[in-house]
Amino acid sequence: MELTKENIQNLRQDYRAAQLSENDVESNPILQFKKWFADAINAQMYEPNVMTLATADSDGKPSARIVLLKDFDENGFVFYTNYESKKGQDLIENPQAALVFFWAELERQVRIEGLVTKVDAQTSSDYFHSRPIGSQIGAMASPQSSIISDRFLLEEKVKELTAEYANKEIPRPLHWGGYLIEPTFIEFWQGRSSRLHDRIVYDLVDGSWIINRLAP
């Protein structure tokens, strides 16, 4: 297809897979997320735990990137990263974040907003040591978000660390670990025909979840 303004404007899909009613959702958004996440896994989607993480610095300048959900429960949603990265710096300055899941095959989206804290050190270490050895070495070797002169230096660092920790447990770097996003707002979006999508939102008010429908 030729790449023209008109062709780009005409890229669209009419969503008809399902519908979502406030009368059918769970009273707790975590339980509702669990149902939808299970649906995404059962649909054999490619990396259903992929999510966009949006942060902002102290000046309100936003930044977004893809990360992986690694755990969730009644407390919130967990991902792991380098604390010294751009997202880590943003979260020091402004400990709030937003997540977005988009499961295209199911015509569904989930938006989550909340406050962010670090998970405890033991939880971070347990997860770190559950990762493949190459990923553990990579976390040690990469000064994430820092400028490097070329890839060769990174690859040499990996070789050095691989030799150093051959047949030994790799210690979790203190600058690497998990974050917990404690939700205060969750939206479940189900695509519908003619862009009249279903949007069911949960707002945390005085410790209780309030459910409403939003116009698409």
Q: Is 195 a catalytic residue?
A: yes
What's the alpha-carbon Rg for the chain, to the nearest Å?
20
Q: Distance (Å, rounded) from C-alpha 191 to C-alpha 143?
A: 40
> How is residue 159 written in tokens?
């070789």
Q: Distance (Å, rounded) from C-alpha 181 to C-alpha 79?
A: 9
The torsion angle over the Cα atoms of residues 154, 160, 164 and 170, rounded to 10 degrees, is 10
Q: Distance (Å, rounded) from C-alpha 91 to C-alpha 207?
A: 24
Q: Which residue in the list 12, 65, 195, 213 is annotated as catalytic?
A: 195
Active site residues: 195
